[in-house]
């Protein structure tokens, strides 16, 4: 099962295939939840095992109430962020959710359930969409954060809207207004 992926990554990184396979095995031992992730992404992350290990240490230090293995399995891109960027992202997320009155154990559990919210842009967009959908905008981001903490699955409802590219017609696309049709056709 790993053979084609390890061959591709070995060529990408100009490394021996056996070394790529060994690094992947090491990463899987460190993170038991990883088998749920796309294999090629994991193998790419495992090639920089030292960086991945440092990232894991940063995550464990910054998120003591979260299952880091589950977090990384849900958002493997975290392993490819540099440590300074990871610190910055976690500080922004922590600040946003703590400012909303959420205790660390609650917002860290949220990240475990919806790991892509470790990206501050995704978090802000999700909270904004929840505020818009539930009329919490007047109450501020605190109300949206509390709704998100109480029902982490709300984040999944917003995910598709967040990832619409900026050049997409947005709301008009969703309502059909951007697709003019003629009654005579």
132 vs 91 pLDDT, higher one: 91
CB 69 within 8 A of CB 32: yes
Neighbours of 1 (CB within 10 A): 6
pLDDT at 141: 66
What six digits make up the tokens of 80?
Answer: 């490819």
pTM of the full structure: 0.62
Separation CA 148–CA 101 (nearest Å): 12
pLDDT at 2: 55
Q: How confident is the model at residue 146 (pLDDT cuts 50, 70, 90)?
A: confident
Q: Does the structure show a pLDDT above 60 at 31? A: yes
| Mean pLDDT across 115-140 | 79
Rounded to the nearest 5 percent, the helix, strand and coil shares of the chain are 75, 0, 25
Classify 164 in phi/psi space as left (phi over 0), alpha (psi -120 to 50) or beta. beta
pLDDT at 65: 92
pLDDT at 89: 92
pLDDT at 139: 56
Helix (H, G, I), strand (E, B) or coil at 167: coil
Separation CA 103–CA 90 (nearest Å): 15
């Amino acid at each position: 099962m790993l053979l084609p992926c390890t061959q591709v990554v070995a060529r990408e990184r100009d490394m021996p295939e056996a070394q790529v396979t060994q690094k992947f095995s090491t990463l899987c031992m460190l993170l038991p939840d990883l088998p749920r992730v796309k294999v090629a992404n994991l193998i790419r992350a495992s090639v920089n095992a030292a960086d991945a290990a440092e990232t894991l240490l940063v995550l464990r230090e910054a998120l003591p109430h979260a299952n880091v293995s589950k977090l990384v399995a849900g958002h493997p891109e975290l392993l490819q962020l540099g440590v300074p960027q990871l610190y910055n992202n976690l500080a922004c997320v922590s600040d946003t959710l703590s400012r909303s009155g959420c205790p660390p154990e609650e917002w860290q559990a949220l990240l475990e359930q919806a790991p892509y919210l470790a990206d501050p842009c995704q978090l802000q967009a999700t909270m904004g969409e929840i505020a818009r959908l539930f009329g919490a905008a007047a109450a501020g981001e605190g109300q949206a954060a509390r709704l998100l903490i109480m029902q982490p699955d709300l984040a999944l409802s917003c995910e598709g809207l967040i990832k619409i590219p900026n050049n997409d017609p947005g709301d008009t696309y969703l309502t059909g207004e951007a697709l003019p049709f003629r009654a005579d056709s």
